[in-house]
Each structure stands twice: as C-alpha cells, then as structure tokens.
Structure 1
Amino acid sequence: MEPGDQPTDYMVNKQDAKGMAGQRTELSLSQIVKEVAQQQHQQTVEAEKSKSVLSNLQAQLFELEKENRAILQEIRTTEKQIYHLENESESRQQHCADLEAQLWSLNANNLQLKLAIQEEEEKYFKFLAEYDKYRKKMLCHKELTNQLESRSPIMMQLEEKIHMVKELKAKKEELAADLMNPEGNIIKQVQGEITELKTKISEMREAINEKSVLLIKEEERHVQLRKEIEVYSFNYGIMTVEVVLVDFSDVHYESIQKWLCGAVDQMSTCDLVECPYVFMMYSQRNTDNVNNDIQSYLYQLSDHVEMPKGNLEVLVQSSFAGILYTVKRKIDEQSLSIIKVIVSTERRATLELYIEQLFTAIYKFTFKTLVIENEEEVKLQLPVPAMKEHVLLSQQTGDIWKDIWAFLAQLKGDMGEIVVLQSLLIPDLFLHGFTTRTGGISYLPGLNSLNLFSSRKRRDPKAVVMENIRRLSARAGFNPKTFYLAKVSHGNTVWTLGKLEPEYYDGIVTNWKGVTIAAPGADCIPLLFADSVQQVCGVAHAGWKGTLAGVAMATVSVMMTEFGCSARDILVVMGPCIGPCCFTLHQEAAGEFMKIDTSCVKGANSPLPSIDLRRATRVLLERGGILSENISDDSTSSECGEVTLCTTCHPDMFFSYNRDGNNFGTQIGFISARELAVNLPSRAEVVL
C-alpha cells in the first residue's frame, strides 16, 4: 500500500468495522432485551412464587403467633394453677401443723382428764369407805333402836294385843267351821260367844288405836327432842364442825402468816370431823399477779402449820360472792351444813349479809372473830355484851348487793332456755303464763334449774331464786319490782292488793295494772283468774287441802265482792299439776272428794284411792257459777303445747314433790294486766 492510500483504506475499514459493530450491537441489544425480558419474566415468576411463599409464610407466621399466644395463655394458666397449688400446699401444711398442735393439746387434755379421773376415783373410793363406815353405824343404831322399841312397855302391850287378836281370829274360824257342820246345831250356843268376841275385838281395836296414837305421839316427841338437842348443841358449840372458812380479805400481806396461825389455833379448839373441808378465802377487786402470789403464799404457809390438809382449798377471786358460791357448791356435793367462820371483827357483818343471801337456814354458821393488836399479835375477840357490833354503811351494803347480782347474772342457765306455757283462753289484755323448770341457775338435784321459791328447809338461797325470777321477768316481760307471790298455807285465805297483807294466803286478786301476781305449785294446781270486763285478775294455789277448803271459789268470791265481777265473765285456767295417774290419798281424805263428786275418785275401795284434783276444781267452779267453757283444764291446749300437764310424769319439764321428795323445786303461774300503771307501789325486792 502506498503511503498516500492508507487513510482511505483505513476509513473504509473503519466504516465496515462500524457497520459490523452496529450489527453486532443491534444483535446484542435484542438479545439483551430478550434476556432481560426473560429475566424479568423469570423474576416475575419468581416474584409470584416469592409472594406465594411469602403469603404462605405470613399465614404460617400468623398461625405460629396464634399458637404462641395460646401457648402463652396456657403457660399463664399453668403458672396460676401452680401458684394456687403452692398456696394450697402451704395452707395444707399450715393446717397439718395446726392439727398437730391440736393433737398435742388433746393429748395434754387427755392426760389431765386421766389424772382428774384418777383423783375422782380416789375421792369416790374414799367416800365409799366413809359411807360404809357411816352405814355400819346406822345399822348399829337401827338395831339398838329396834331393841329399845321392842323392850318398851307400849310395844310389848301392842304385841300381846296383836297375839290375842290372832287367837280370836283363829277361834272365829273354828266356830265358823263348826257352824257349817250339818251334824251339830251349836248356833244358839255360840251366838253369845260370838257377841262377846265381837265386843272384845272392838275393845281390842280401840285399845290398839289408842296405843297407836300414843306411839305416834311418842315418836313425834322423840323427833322434837332430837331437834331440841340439835338446837342446844348448835347454840352451845357442841356440834361437830364439817367446814371451816378462813377469811383473809382484809388482812395485810405482812400479817397473813400470823392470821393463819391464829386461825389454826381456833380450829384446834373446835370439835372437827375426821377430815373437814377448809377454805382459805381472799377477795380483792384486782385479780392480778399479786393475788396469784397470795394464793401460792397461802398454800406454802399451810404446809408449815399443823392444820387439816386433806380437803384444803385456797380461793382467790375478785368477787367474794363468787368465792362463797364456789364454797357452797362444794359443800352441797357432800351435803355438809355445820360451818365455822374465822373472820375479822370488821368483816363479820359483811360475811353475814353474804351468807344471808347465798345460804339458807339449813346451814349452821358459827363465827370466831380475830383482831390484830398494836404489836401485830392476832388474838381471839371475846364477845362483850356492851360492845357495839360493826354496822355496814349503806354504800357497803350496796356494793355487796352489786357483787352478788353481778356474779349471779353472769352464770349460765341450766337445762336450756326458759319456757313459759300459755293458755288460749286468756285474752291478750293480760300477760300470763306457767313456768317450767328449765333456764335457771339452781343446781341442786330436785331444784334445778328455774326454782322460784326459797325455803328455810331447802338449800336454794334467796339470791339464786331472785335471779331466777329476774331472768323469768326478762323472758316473760313483767317488772320484777312489782311481783307478788302467794305465801301459801294450804287454806282458802285470799289477799286483795292494797289491803292489809295477811301472814299467809293462798290467793291474790287485784285490778292494778302492771303488777304481776303469782301462785306457786309443785304438784298443787296454780290457778289463774281473768275478767276482761272489769280488768281484774287473780291467782290461787290449790293443793288437795286447799281444794277441799274451797280456795278456787274463795278467789272468785273476792273478785265479785271487791271489784264487782260477774261469775259469767271470769275465766279460769289450771296450770301444770299432779294428775290422777300419780296422786293418791288415804280413805278419809278420799271420802271428802267423793262428797264433791264421785268422778273425782278412782278405786274408792282401795287403801289409797286415786284423786283427780282438776275434776274436783272444775266441779266446784261450775257449781259456783263459772261457765264450763270458761274453764281450762287438761283438755285445753295452747300455742306452747298442753298447759295442764302432770308434773310427776314430766321430770324434764316440771318440779314435783310427789316424785322428788322434800328437796323439790317450785314453778309458778303468773298473771298481770298489760296496761302501764301510774304511781303504783313498788317493792325493792321480790316477795318470797
């Protein structure tokens, strides 16, 4: 190639190269576009696949989250259950610990009970030994008495007469046999002898009756002599002391030991039983550690002195009434009654007032008064006629009463709640009812629990009976300060409130409003009378003697004469009493009831006929003008059940003299007009 031609060829080649390059470029771009399109298509396909996968993954994620939430909820529920189970486990562990503590406590109590049972068994065997000893003495005494009676002239004559009567009876039988013999005719011969024998027999009977009367009088005289001997022995300090009470309540701590020694000296001068009960008493208002120390101190001192310790007890309480009540319950368990009290001069009047309210005349108290001299020497104070006795101030008396009432009020009632029986016959104008024996605080057998009468012959004291009446008044809704109980004598005397009060009376009538009158009964009939026209009410106590004396109609008569009542308007309700199922009397008394009405007596020919007091009372009332439908007896029921139940047949509900003997309690029938009275006379205490 020429040097000059080089550019031209070069240009041609360059253009060819460019053309080829352009073709190649066009081909590569189209390929690239295709490839890109293919790639985009693939990417689109892959994107669609990715979206599908993503949606599947999102759905799976949503399900996983849902499952996760459910799992979390289950975990929380499980955690709560675990928490509750842990709490329950802890509480069960605590309960097990408590049960284990209770088990230990029960074991301890069981041991204490075992010890107490052993102590009671020892006391029982000791009492049994004493009882056997006493029984042997009584048998010896009975044998000696029988010997003395058999040797007495009256008994010897009586035996002779009895022997003679037997012989006469034998002869009479022989004569009767002879009279039946058809072969012999001795009727005329023996008539005179029979008449003579009858005369002798009647004379013998009269003689026997006279001797029997003399014997009864002699026995009564012996009983009276025994009582006089007991009174003489008591007055002159000859009786054997069974219980000793030593009062430390007003003794300073420094003088307690000397006081105890003085009391022991006085005990040594008394005629004590073999193992007397000794109670050392200490009462102050604060029962703190000081008093507890005194209790321990008194026990320690008793170990260093010569004194009876077999039945020694130290009683420390804030309430002196509580102390004496504890003493009374313990000596009542043993039926003890001869009590010696060792007390200071200043405290004697206090103890006498407590004893008057918490004991009865059955308990025989004698006092030994000690004084502390200036040199702190304890001496017996001899009785001086000219010396003035310590008199209680009104505030001291009030404090004693408060102590007694506060203590008795906190005692729990026995045998359940107080139950008052009511009759449907008496209208709501009158408050009325008949008591049962439940809900009171009397604890003695035969008297428990709502005894409402205190007798000198029984052991239930005034304060306990007054507390029973207070509880009854709260239950029934009457005022105990205007409460009047009949002072019975088994007669027909009736007292009208407002007039002079008789010494004894078996009936009460009144037209005072807000005043409660009551009649007692423990087999006798408590009768309630009500006249809603004149607003007059009455009560009566009708035993068999009072029924024969006409106490029911005597009460009706006073209502008619004093207040203008009409017999047709008077309602009469009979309360719980002994029924004919349980009540019998001797022939003479039964004959008096036969005169009232033959239906009042069953088995009239028996030695002890049965008597229906209710029937006799109804007959007498109807004869006196009381309408039959206005009398409530054992056929009438009330909202609380039958009112006129047999007291003897229901020992869980009523007291009964016939069933329980001399140590019996008393229920009452009571009634009052409901309207409030203005300026009515009130009693400071319940009349018993």
Structure 2
Amino acid sequence: MEPFVLQKVENGCELFFLKGWMKEHPGLTAGCTSRLGGVSKTAFASLNCGLHVSDQPEHVVANREKLAEALRVRLEDCTYGEQVHGSEVQVVTKELAGAGTRTRATEIPSKDAFITNEPGLFLHALFADCVPLLFFDPVHRAVGLAHAGWKGTVLAIAKATVEAMSREYGTNPSEVYAAVGPSIHACCYEVDDYVLSRVKQVMNELELSNEAADGFPPIYVERSDGKYSLSLQQMNRQIMMKAGILQSHIEMSSLCTSCRTDLLFSHRKEHGKTGRMAAWIGLRD
C-alpha cells in the first residue's frame, strides 16, 4: 500500500501525507507536495516550491505560504536549505526558524540533511527526481529529512542522518521510522558506467546486496544498450538497514516522478525545465 496518500486540502493544495505515521503519532506532520494547487505558471505549474528554477519568486513564496497554511503552521516556523548534493547534516534549532523561506540569501547554506528535536520547527527540502528520506524517532521526539540524489546516496546521506540523530539526541536506530518518498524509479532512471562504478564502490564498502529478495528488486540491472537501470530507493533502503533501522520500520513510495508528471515534477522527464516539490517533517508544539 502506498504510504504517501494524496489529499486535497481546503486551500486547494494537493499534498501527499504520510498518513500512517501521522495517525499513529499525533502532533507529527510529514509528507511531500504534489505539483498541483499552486499559483505558478507555464513549466512550473503550479505548486512549485523552488526559488532556484527561474520561476517568479513571488509565485514561489506564495506557494510556500499556501503549503504552510495547508499544514496549519506559520511559514516563519519553517526552514529551507541550499542543497548541494552532499552529505552534510544541519542541526536545526529555533534560531534558524524562517531560514530560506522567502529568499535564497537566507537559506541554510550547503546542506542536504536536516534534523531537529524542537517542536514547532518544520524542516523542508526540495525535489524533482531525487529521493526524499524522512526519519522519525518517536522515543526522543526527533525528526530528520534528507535529499538523496545519486551523489547523496553514494555518500550514504541516510546513514549520516541517522548517525547525527544518534549523536545529537541519543536516537537508537532500531527505534527510528524511515520513509523513502516519491522520486524517479529504476523504470525511468538510466545511468552510465561512471555512476555505476561509484554505486558499486559503496555497495562493496557497506556490503549491500544486488540480489532481489523479500519482494524487493535489485539495486541495479544492466540494460541491453550497456547502460544501467538504477534504483536509488532500494539502495537507500539497504543503507538505512545498515545504519540500524529495522526493515519493518521503512516505508517505500511506489510513486515515480518521471512516470507521474501529471502529479509530480521530474527534472529528467521535463528536460530540466520544471518546478520542485517540497518534502516536509516536523512536530507541533
């Protein structure tokens, strides 16, 4: 069953909520936007949340305001970062509330993962094929959000995020719940020898398996044209497990951004001229 459930809220935003988590843990809000229900035009239609994609800034800010309203939070209590396809983790405190929400100049600089244990703070990251990774520690009431393209994945950003939560909040990885959000799937994600060599290197280092098992496909499959179909979702799932998260605690979205451009933005399918979804997670006061 798809864990990210699409819902149209009162102000018109159409959002994918992690309904199971939110039902089980009152006060938690987590999910990912669709591309529907905003004010952006042309290639960015309509709920584009990215300030860096040549959309009109006032439209992006209006979309972020609509998202905050839909979540029943203040935009000033949200954070956005400057994502650089790395593996640096930012500890987010109340001093960073509002960072990057209205201008790029105020973004949390050069970070691709964010963690907090402060209620009333809502972490956001931007996606249009890359993999959203969401983390929740119900024991220590801490949350995390990471942006994992192929570069972040081979840098094991999922593992770095769990380790940061353990270091900062005393998180036990076996108690963490994780979710792999809507992103480009192996059906549409073709990579070359260079990318696959990096993937194989990390698979060897972390002892990840390329065998299909337990109903899950392999991480990569060689194609007849010499290219490879790569599942960043399965690679991140295995990295999460190596970090100590239980397989039964990991939710996997079946939504492919490239297949579903009616609902989601896809940088690859739309040749770079498109908007960005925002994934979010946070705990209410």
TM-score between the two structures when normalised by the length of structure 2: 0.82
Q: Distance in 2 between matches of 1:418 and 1:502?
A: 25
The count of aligned residue pairs is 248
- Over the aligned positions, Cα root-mean-square deviation in angstroms equals 1.9
Matches within 5 A, 1:410-489: 417-423=12-18, 424-425=20-21, 427-445=25-43, 447-455=44-52, 458-489=53-84
Pair 666,624 (structure 1): closer, same or farther in 2 beyond 3 Å? same
Instruction: Look up the equivalent residue of 2:82 and give its one-letter code.
Output: K
The answer for the alignment partner of 1:670 in structure 2 is 280
Matches within 5 A, 1:591-602: 591-595=197-201, 596=203, 597-598=209-210, 599-602=218-221
Offset, 1:603 = 1.4
Q: Distance in 2 between matches of 1:502 and 1:513?
A: 19
Structure whose alpha-carbon radius of gyration is higher = 1
The answer for the alignment partner of 1:536 in structure 2 is 142
The higher relative CO (CA closer than 8 Å, separation ≥ 6) is in 2
Instruction: Look up the equivalent residue of 1:493 and give its one-letter code.
Output: E
1:547 pairs, out of 144, 153, 170, with 153
Higher relative strand content: 2
Instruction: Look up the equivalent residue of 1:469 and give its one-letter code.
Output: R
Matches within 5 A, 1:217-296: none
SS in 1 for 2:82: coil
Structure 1 residue runs without a partner (length 5+)? 1-415, 635-643, 676-688
Offset, 1:553 = 1.0
Deviations 1:395-430 (A, max 9, x none): xxxxxxxxxxxxxxxxxxxxx931111221453331
Pair 502,439 (structure 1): closer, same or farther in 2 beyond 3 Å? closer
Q: Distance in 2 between matches of 1:546 and 1:593?
A: 11
Pair 604,651 (structure 1): closer, same or farther in 2 beyond 3 Å? closer
2:196 pairs, out of 582, 590, 597, with 590
2:256 pairs, out of 618, 627, 646, with 646
Identity of aligned residues (%): 28
Q: Distance in 1 between matches of 2:61 and 2:164?
A: 29
Q: Distance in 1 between matches of 2:167 and 2:259?
A: 38
Q: Distance in 2 between matches of 1:623 and 1:648?
A: 28
Q: Distance in 2 between matches of 1:502 and 1:604?
A: 39
Offset, 1:663 = 1.4
Matches within 5 A, 1:354-433: 417-423=12-18, 424-425=20-21, 427-433=25-31
The answer for the alignment partner of 1:123 in structure 2 is none
Offset, 1:520 = 1.1
Instruction: Look up the equivalent residue of 1:633 and give its one-letter code.
Output: M
* 8 Å Cα contact 2:196-2:228 kept in structure 1: yes
* 8 Å Cα contact 2:125-2:147 kept in structure 1: yes
2:247 matched to 1:624? Answer: no
* 8 Å Cα contact 1:487-1:506 kept in structure 2: yes
Instruction: Look up the equivalent residue of 1:670 and give its one-letter code.
Output: W
Offset, 1:605 = 6.9
Q: Distance in 2 between matches of 1:430 and 1:667?
A: 20
SS in 1 for 2:143: strand
Q: Distance in 2 between matches of 1:545 and 1:560?
A: 23
Higher relative helix content: 1
Deviations 1:70-109 (A, max 9, x none): xxxxxxxxxxxxxxxxxxxxxxxxxxxxxxxxxxxxxxxx
Offset, 1:593 = 2.4
Instruction: Look up the equivalent residue of 2:276 and give its one-letter code.
Output: T
The answer for the alignment partner of 2:8 in structure 1 is none
* 8 Å Cα contact 2:80-2:108 kept in structure 1: no
Q: Distance in 1 between matches of 2:265 and 2:108?
A: 27
* 8 Å Cα contact 1:479-1:514 kept in structure 2: no
2:120 matched to 1:525? Answer: no
Deviations 1:563-602 (A, max 9, x none): 1111011111111100100001111211332342322111
* 8 Å Cα contact 1:479-1:515 kept in structure 2: no
Which runs of at least 4 in structure 1 moved beyond 4 Å after TM superposition? 499-502
2:270 pairs, out of 660, 668, 674, with 660
* 8 Å Cα contact 2:130-2:147 kept in structure 1: yes
* 8 Å Cα contact 2:180-2:237 kept in structure 1: no
Matches within 5 A, 1:320-359: none
Instruction: Look up the equivalent residue of 1:468 and give its one-letter code.
Output: N
The answer for the alignment partner of 1:39 in structure 2 is none
SS in 1 for 2:135: strand
Deviations 1:118-155 (A, max 9, x none): xxxxxxxxxxxxxxxxxxxxxxxxxxxxxxxxxxxxxx
SS in 2 for 1:657: coil
Instruction: Look up the equivalent residue of 1:603 and give its one-letter code.
Output: E
* 8 Å Cα contact 1:593-1:601 kept in structure 2: no
Q: Distance in 1 between matches of 2:262 and 2:251?
A: 23
2:207 matched to 1:609? Answer: no
The answer for the alignment partner of 2:176 in structure 1 is 570
* 8 Å Cα contact 1:526-1:577 kept in structure 2: yes
Q: Distance in 1 between matches of 2:269 and 2:223?
A: 23
SS in 2 for 1:431: strand
Deviations 1:465-497 (A, max 9, x none): 110011111112221111111311001001001
Q: Distance in 1 between matches of 2:181 and 2:36?
A: 16
Q: Distance in 2 between matches of 1:606 and 1:569?
A: 43
Structure 2 residue runs without a partner (length 5+)? 1-10, 97-106, 204-208, 211-217
Q: Distance in 1 between matches of 2:150 and 2:180?
A: 14
* 8 Å Cα contact 2:28-2:281 kept in structure 1: yes
* 8 Å Cα contact 1:454-1:465 kept in structure 2: yes
Q: Distance in 1 between matches of 2:193 and 2:111?
A: 28
The answer for the alignment partner of 2:162 in structure 1 is 556
2:252 matched to 1:633? Answer: yes
